[in-house]
Structure 1
């Protein structure tokens, strides 16, 4: 079967090695309230939404102690609400700083062009976030022809397969077996399989590993290849 299109995830798959932006934005949000969060406390699950991450961190007893030392009259619920607001501001500032295309992708895109293979993205970035990063990654040789975001759907909880299908529709491709979905999380794999397309998981630079490129590069070879 000839491959006619590839649908990529964004963070951790094509840009932002290790999907660093959410963790950086969350850590900065806590710090803006005078609360330091350790790397261990910050460890994020790539499958969770930012609000869930923030709630999990705030549930840590040591984080709660630090919060009440700084803000004795502010409830944890109100703290979560305020931190989430700052996260939403921070992520828009941080995304342009980490909007770097992963190594090898521009070469792959050039190959797609010579072969007439179309390419699109699906993401949980909002349209506002996409507006920040798409011009920057385009300058680096990655300019997806179609970009589908979960924010465009009324119920964004389980829209992954539908995003893939919508991308196929906009690419004018009907045969799912002529499409590849590439992602870096179990949710991405589910999205592709549920949509009936060929599905490939990426490990290096993924959200699951969660390491920056410099952190990953200094790992012993056995750790990087296991």
Structure 2
């Protein structure tokens, strides 16, 4: 943990992982949901798989099974609605597939390591949480660390008895672990609506990440290859969803975060609260 003398009124910044710090486009989880359901003979589109992103993976599966189109397929194939045992079976199928794939998507998003360095220079503590379960994070973390992504705290999606997003629990677990002191001086950075809701419920400033995250869901090269008008339309749609979830600020990617944090620092000095 950093020991730099604090020079910022911000106590801590708490990041999501896929689509925020690593894995531009949040690609690692999405196809695995499609593949896991396909192994049970159920067709799930990439768009459907992205819908509940940000939830813990078991809750994500539960949410997908509640989708009418997917629930109807399950009923037709198995003769009854999906129950907890079916959720468990899908989760057990999903987990080894996700563990095998997550390392392929551990590359930092451009600007992430620079932003983390900027935070540490200012004495701001760096937390993180993820919808990934601990088994998946245990694969991702060492690879990300070798690339320069090593937060002071990591909370996985299956670690807390209270549950995960959109509840505030993982964000608040970071506050406790980091001894951040005041949630009003903490910032949550996330590319999903449940992750923004998490930060709002925890009483934090919230920054939504649009282009690099789940709401757009494209690799950096594929996004850059689009005409400017298409990128602008994708940004606008993503921003609308994140704003509706409660984001105070919006950025394209983590590379733009320091400029936004400067505004939040001034707001705190002016006595404003999230």
TM-score, normalisation: structure 2: 0.68
Classify the secondary structure of the residue corresponding to 1:189.
helix
1:90-121 CA distance string (max 9 Å, x none) = 01111111111111001111112222221010
Match of 1:186 among 154, 175, 193: 193
Calculate the aligned-residue CA RMSD, in Å: 2.9
Given the alignment of the two structures, is residue 99 of structure 1 paired with residue 115 of structure 2, yes or no?
no
Classify the secondary structure of the residue corresponding to 1:150.
coil
Give the Cα separation in 2 of the matches to 1:150 and 1:38: 23
Give the Cα separation in 1 of the matches to 2:86 and 2:219: 29
Q: CA contact under 8 A between 2:19 and 2:191: conserved in structure 1? A: yes
Match of 1:2 among 6, 9, 13: 9
Q: CA contact under 8 A between 1:26 and 1:54: conserved in structure 2? A: no
Given the alignment of the two structures, is residue 139 of structure 1 paired with residue 140 of structure 2, yes or no?
no
Structure 1 segments unaligned to the other structure (5+ residues): none
Given the alignment of the two structures, is residue 52 of structure 1 paired with residue 62 of structure 2, yes or no?
yes
Bigger relative contact order, structure 1 or 2 (CA pairs below 8 A, ≥6 apart): 1
How far residue 202 of structure 1 moved from its aligned partner, in angstroms, is 0.8
1:72-83 correspondence to structure 2 within 5 Å: 77=82, 82-83=89-90
Count residues with an aligned counterpart: 219
Classify the secondary structure of the residue corresponding to 1:149.
coil
**Per the alignment, do residues 157 and 113 of structure 1 end up closer, same or farther by CA in structure 2, a change over 3 Å counting?**
closer
**Per the alignment, do residues 156 and 43 of structure 1 end up closer, same or farther by CA in structure 2, a change over 3 Å counting?**
closer
Q: CA contact under 8 A between 1:54 and 1:80: conserved in structure 2? A: no
Q: Which residue of 1 aligns with 2:119?
A: 112
1:144-183 correspondence to structure 2 within 5 Å: 144-157=151-164, 160-183=167-190
Structure 2 segments unaligned to the other structure (5+ residues): 1-7, 237-274
Q: CA contact under 8 A between 2:15 and 2:188: conserved in structure 1? A: yes
Give the Cα separation in 1 of the matches to 2:184 and 2:193: 20
Match of 1:199 among 197, 203, 206: 206
Q: CA contact under 8 A between 1:58 and 1:80: conserved in structure 2? A: no
Give the Cα separation in 2 of the matches to 1:163 and 1:81: 22
TM-score, normalisation: structure 1: 0.81
Which segment is superposed worse, 203-212 or 24-33?
24-33
Classify the secondary structure of the residue corresponding to 1:146.
coil
